[in-house]
């Protein structure tokens, strides 16, 4: 479904449709591709206990995450000749030509899993009923009571992913509005962060197998909190480049450590059920974070009551904001709000059992 919908996005502009028709069909294809991709991740994540030994689960998880980020970098270079017109599929060349080769590469790199990864069927597997699948979500949530720490993990993961998804979504806006980065600098920062995520994933996988996923994820979360605090406070472009790299490292490390932790908390035969909840919490988190960001940016501008009160409090301590800082303070406060959300998630997370 993901491959077909992505392919469709590549040919929509070539169909004899009106502009409104193209937009509607493109939105439908995009929604279908996203739905199928996110649904596939549930099964992909649930396969982790099947394809790895519990002593090396961190390394396997880290390798998968690292290859994913390397694939993101390679993918940009692979589709660039089609977009730039050096290998045009149609005339004229354009960004829409990225979708067809993307669909092709997605299919090609999926084949090893389909052909060579063996699935172990569990006894008692039931026939799939779509209606029952939706009804089972509430049942799955109640089932978390049987496995200590799972509900706490899902709540904390919701907050972690909420903050992280918002950072990913608005970091380009932040770098331009606060740090004054141009398009070229933003692209380079993205590439550095992505490469750092690949390296961080591999390193985190090794650490996860040595000290356990709970301790590793706890260190990663505190790394996020400290990094976000520094991002909100710094005016140094040099330091910001370094923090961008750290953000990538902690981004890859989060996915690397969280999956083995959940796999250790639930029975192997229940992996699909609880990784489904894990994916659901992550996708739901993508809604709350942007709302928080937008609220802070909208109501915490330079002349707002919140900023005036903050200015008086810091002024009483001998700390004064520069005019340039006040011009963009709403974005800095939004980053601090995300750091606070990560800290709240850690409060729930700290009582998750340390099972290895």
| pLDDT at residue number 138 | 59
| pLDDT, the chain, mean | 80
Q: Which residues contact 228 (CB under 8 A, 6 or more apart)?
A: 163, 167, 335, 336, 338, 339, 342
271-299 and 130-143 helices, crossing angle to 10°: 80
| pLDDT at residue number 327 | 79
Task: Tell me the C-alpha distance between 304 and 300, whole Å.
Answer: 6
Task: Tell me the C-alpha distance between 235 and 128, whole Å.
Answer: 55
Q: Are 214 and 352 in contact (CB under 8 A)?
A: yes
CA distances to 66, 110, 247 from 202, in Å: 6, 21, 15
Q: Are 105 and 75 in contact (CB under 8 A)?
A: yes
What superfamily in CATH does domain 2-114+149-349 come from?
MFS general substrate transporter like domains (1.20.1250.20)
In tens, the pLDDT along 18-61 reads: 777 778 888 888 888 887 887 777 777 777 767 666 677 777 77
Q: Which residues contact 6 (CB under 8 A, 6 or more apart)?
A: 29, 33, 99, 102, 103, 106
Task: Tell me the C-alpha distance between 181 and 189, whole Å.
Answer: 9
Q: Are 131 and 324 in contact (CB under 8 A)?
A: no
Task: Please count the residues of the chain.
Answer: 356
In tens, the pLDDT along 257-268 reads: 888 888 888 777
From first CA to last CA, the distance across the chain in angstroms is 36
Q: What is the mean pLDDT of residues 177-193?
A: 86
């Amino acid at each position: 479904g993901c491959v077909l919908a992505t392919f469709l996005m590549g040919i929509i502009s070539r169909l004899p449709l009106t502009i409104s028709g193209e937009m509607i069909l493109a939105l439908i294809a995009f929604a279908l591709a996203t739905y199928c991709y996110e649904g596939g991740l549930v099964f992909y994540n649930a396969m982790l206990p099947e394809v790895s030994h519990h002593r090396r689960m961190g390394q396997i998880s880290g390798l998968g995450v690292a290859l994913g980020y390397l694939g993101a970098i390679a993918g940009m270079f692979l589709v660039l000749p089609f977009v730039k017109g050096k290998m045009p599929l149609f005339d004229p060349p354009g960004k829409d030509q990225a979708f067809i080769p993307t669909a092709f590469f997605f299919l090609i790199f999926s084949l090893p899993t389909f052909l060579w990864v063996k699935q172990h069927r569990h006894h008692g597997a039931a026939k799939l009923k779509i209606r029952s699948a939706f009804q089972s979500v509430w049942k799955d949530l109640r089932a978390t009571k049987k496995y200590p720490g799972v509900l706490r993990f899902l709540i904390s993961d919701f907050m972690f992913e909420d903050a992280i998804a918002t950072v990913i979504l608005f970091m380009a806006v932040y770098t331009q509005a606060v740090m004054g980065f141009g398009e070229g600098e933003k692209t380079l920062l993205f590439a550095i962060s992505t490469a750092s995520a690949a390296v961080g994933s591999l390193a985190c996988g090794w650490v996860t197998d040595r000290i356990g996923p709970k301790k590793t994820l706890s260190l990663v979360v505190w790394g996020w909190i400290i990094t976000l605090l520094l991002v909100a406070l710094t005016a140094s472009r040099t330091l910001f480049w370094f923090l961008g790299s750290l953000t990538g490292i902690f981004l890859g490390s989060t996915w690397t450590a969280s999956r083995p932790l959940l796999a250790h908390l639930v029975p192997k035969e229940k992996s699909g059920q609880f990784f489904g909840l894990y994916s659901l919490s992550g996708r739901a988190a993508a809604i709350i974070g942007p709302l928080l960001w937008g609220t802070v940016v909208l109501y915490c501008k330079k002349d707002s009551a919140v900023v005036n009160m903050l200015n008086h409090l810091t002024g009483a301590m001998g700390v004064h904001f520069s005019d340039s800082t006040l011009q963009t303070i709403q974005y800095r406060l939004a980053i601090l709000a995300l750091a606070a959300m990560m800290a709240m998630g850690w409060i729930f997370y700290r009582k998750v059992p340390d099972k290895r």
